[in-house]
Structure 1
């Protein structure tokens, strides 16, 4: 694209390959952008809430994904429109920062843009709309802090954390097991959390899945599970008080880095070469034995000669273990931060103080499928744990992994900030009432944008009611009137037909920072879209 001037000095733009491109300006550009964003939000709207529908997505290579996680749906969708991609980034940002609320943030942004379109039709300038939205979002976020509730928890009292994680899992496929999965997620987070610093490293939690069994068989392992088995079938399947050598060097003779060739023309030369190779293997195994190792875990493979020698010397071994698993094993089996459980790159550097310690290492078989996995348990440092998911097929396991990830993120956020607001659309309704009341005190055109913001906040409880089979408008107006009458910000949509609208009684919680981030992110993206007034795209879009 280049800027040029005609003979009268008036500027005009020259676009490369402009015959293949289209250009939209002004109000038309803004409406086109709003239409694209609304289309994406409309797709996710039906996935919101505990009764939300799932989406089936098929990749170009035929893989099928079934999910109602907003970030996953948008990640898998093939979105060509640039504004559509911006909505994908919005959902991804919410997932990265908070881990939950990925559907709600897109639905909120879509509702804000829908209301903005009505204001544009009335002749209000986009900048004034954006300023009004900014004022309204500040009022809404501040009101969230006012209605938030704080609770205390500890390693012995995890019930508040479990209840909040259950709210997250209630909208997933795994909702029938939400109590057990929520407890597993909370215990996993507390195992790796630093409560004094209010920090959680989720990288220390490994989520592993295996097809077969029931969802109820999902368990938390205080240690590491590796999807490998012993390298030789005759090696022991159970090792107690294991001393683990964690190696990144292969069991094989050293290879020269230059081009080389060996001519073997006699039996004696072959025997000499074979003896030299056996000597190398023997030395490597002996170095492991001298260090006191009772189990070798190696990142690389080794051939039958080394495998047979390890078995004869009584040294169980596991091969082809990935780098991430090696690091987790090293963290879990370290006695202290400085000593024990060190990853060793050379056999000569292997010493007793670099060995990892585990109370029990066992190989477990699953039914008649001959699938085997290695359990490393009773570790000296339990700051690395594994959530082992079972399910009837691959799709169930993958969706459970996504659900568990959301629950882990919610528990992490509560450790960082233990403030909660009540769900079921109650927070949105309360914010809507406050913003609507605040708009009456604003003298400028921004008051129309603030009322539109309040109207857009009602989109979330309305979608919850609609997805639950209720009359959306009747249900929303009834709850709104009840909130005003009783001055109770905990009243929301009774999606599960429990018989009460009080989300406090239903134990439906959401994290304060998650809800605030949702409002702020949606407002920022909407402001960005409203300020775009010139779009140059390929005409095929």
Structure 2
């Protein structure tokens, strides 16, 4: 780079840095995004295929859950990682629809590639996409229908739509029922509607039995056992003390030394410690508690005294368990034993230690209107249990979203096709080159329905033409019944999804695509790889990727 004084070059970027500019940079990012979209496209819909992901240590995951696939994949390309963030955002915000969001973002970029080849400037494309995305939100709101928290039938249909196509589909009845019951139990009414506090639903997993053995507990399941074998295993009409302080003799803050001149003094010292612990247990008994959950440790002597008094105790419970136990039982977490009173105690109809698949677990059941609950998911193998857990969590999320937003749209590709048709009509009213980008946006939305048809083995062209004719006849809820390979009314078939899954997929997919399109220069610094023996280890591999490629930009992606 000349500096105007003797034209001496100025080194701004290290020689090992890889740089891609203009069309080359855009094509690299778009290709990477298409690779990610193609990786999950075949998993879309109930007839989608599964992926087997084998980790570096040989661990195997088999799933068709978009975000799980993308998290398990070893991705290095920065453009691809930006598309994966779309799935993570979708998962965090609404808990389902991750494959839809990623495929949509990849198709937007594929459409943008054609526009770039035609000489359309990136800013015009991003402007058109943003206009279309804004209109898409309005159109989706218009086509949505209302749903109420008491409409259990529709809520169950939403849960079933989410689970359909996953490996746990054969147990769809029990899983959807558990999801709806759990969300309705923890939902709280607010001035603006219902708030589904799904963070208060825990899904505990244990191998053994079948998925149909899964159950909801009106309270909590704590993966702990009693601290002392002499304690009762079962307590009815439990009064539960939640203690966030150690039931042990406190150590002195400064190092201290006690000198004893005869055995009697030592015995007195030990007796004094024992008396302190006896008083602690006495306070618990005096308050009326017969079950104790302690977040810290419990001294052996205190355990013995509690066993004598018939108190069931658990130590070192997680802070999250303590908080949810408080919400489930109505108890208060106490940080000072002197403050414990009967008013602080939680209540449960039954507290029992049970052996599940060889492990002891504490069940806190029959709580009165608990606002935190547990679901125990079962299954014959580790893979089945994991997939049941993922299916349950997706179902819980979508039911929660439906209750919070109070809006639903038809599934089966119906809302996507209706949206694509409306965006195409809107493109006619947009002037200038932005109209081309708006029409490309509509094509990307329609490609989701096309992918659904392809994955079901249906002819995509005939299917889209048939669907369009139905929608033009005011059949906006007509979509694909992938099992019968027919076009049907999705609302009457019970294929329903929350509105927020669609609106979030559109917004996050569009934002990621526009961000990638605007990049015209990729500057990748050399990434130093640590040799197996650590930095500077003899025989360590030189930094950078294989074949001399800088580690930042793998050539294959």
| Pair in the same fold by TM > 0.5 | yes
Distance 2:382 2:24 in 1: 45
Q: Which residue of 1 aligns with 2:188?
A: 194
Q: How does 1:248-327 map to 2 (within 5 A)?
A: 248-262=244-258, 267-327=263-323
Q: Which residue of 1 aligns with 2:51?
A: 55
Distance 2:8 2:198 in 1: 54
SS of equivalent to 1:198:
strand
Q: CA deviation at 1:163?
A: 0.7
Q: How does 1:359-378 map to 2 (within 5 A)?
A: 359-366=349-356, 369-378=357-366
Q: Which residue of 2 aligns with 1:20?
A: 16
Q: CA deviation at 1:372?
A: 2.2
Q: Which residue of 1 aligns with 2:430?
A: 442
Q: CA deviation at 1:150?
A: 2.0
Distance 1:401 1:261 in 2: 54
Q: CA deviation at 1:187?
A: 1.4
Distance 2:216 2:462 in 1: 44
Structure 1 position 490 matched with structure 2 position 487? no
SS of equivalent to 2:15:
helix
For 2:517, which of 515, 526, 530 is the aligned residue?
530
Q: CA deviation at 1:358?
A: 1.6
Structure 1 position 425 matched with structure 2 position 419? no
Structure 1 position 113 matched with structure 2 position 98? no
Q: CA deviation at 1:66?
A: 2.7
Q: CA deviation at 1:262?
A: 4.7
Q: How does 1:386-465 map to 2 (within 5 A)?
A: 386-465=374-453
Structure 1 position 39 matched with structure 2 position 35? yes
Distance 2:387 2:6 in 1: 61
Go from structure 1 to structure 2 and tell me whether the alpha carbon gap of 1:192 and 1:145 turns closer, same or farther (over 3 Å shift).
same
Go from structure 1 to structure 2 and tell me whether the alpha carbon gap of 1:118 and 1:9 turns closer, same or farther (over 3 Å shift).
farther
Moved more, 311-320 or 39-48: 311-320
Go from structure 1 to structure 2 and tell me whether the alpha carbon gap of 1:146 and 1:362 turns closer, same or farther (over 3 Å shift).
same
SS of equivalent to 1:90:
helix
SS of equivalent to 1:208:
strand
Deviations 1:340-366 (A, max 9, x none): x11112222222221212222122233
CA contact (8 A) 2:244 2:334 kept: yes
Distance 1:498 1:281 in 2: 71
Matched residues, number: 526
CA contact (8 A) 1:364 1:373 kept: yes
SS of equivalent to 1:501:
strand
Q: Which residue of 1 aligns with 2:459?
A: 471
Distance 1:394 1:9 in 2: 70
Q: Which residue of 1 aligns with 2:536?
A: none
Structure 1 position 349 matched with structure 2 position 336? no
SS of equivalent to 1:492:
strand
SS of equivalent to 1:458:
helix
For 1:380, which of 368, 380, 383 is the aligned residue?
368
Q: CA deviation at 1:245?
A: 1.3
Distance 2:346 2:470 in 1: 61
Structure 1 unaligned spans of 5+ = 335-340
CA contact (8 A) 1:476 1:493 kept: no
Distance 2:425 2:5 in 1: 53
For 2:497, which of 505, 510, 515 is the aligned residue?
510
CA contact (8 A) 2:456 2:485 kept: no
Q: Which residue of 2 aligns with 1:137?
A: 133
CA contact (8 A) 2:232 2:307 kept: no
Distance 1:120 1:72 in 2: 32
CA contact (8 A) 2:145 2:409 kept: yes
SS of equivalent to 1:317:
strand
Deviations 1:80-121 (A, max 9, x none): 121112112111111111111111000001011001101111
Distance 1:44 1:8 in 2: 55
Q: Which residue of 2 aligns with 1:177?
A: 171
Moved more, 190-199 or 406-415: 190-199
Q: CA deviation at 1:9?
A: 11
Distance 2:261 2:80 in 1: 69
Structure 1 position 358 matched with structure 2 position 348? yes
Structure 2 unaligned spans of 5+ = 526-549
Task: State the TM-score, normalizing by the size of structure 2.
Answer: 0.89
CA contact (8 A) 2:100 2:505 kept: yes
Task: State the TM-score, normalizing by the size of structure 1.
Answer: 0.91
CA contact (8 A) 2:466 2:487 kept: no
Q: Which residue of 1 aligns with 2:539?
A: none
Q: CA deviation at 1:167?
A: 0.6
Moved more, 68-77 or 157-166: 68-77
CA contact (8 A) 2:25 2:522 kept: yes
Structure 1 position 30 matched with structure 2 position 26? yes
For 2:98, which of 96, 99, 102 is the aligned residue?
102
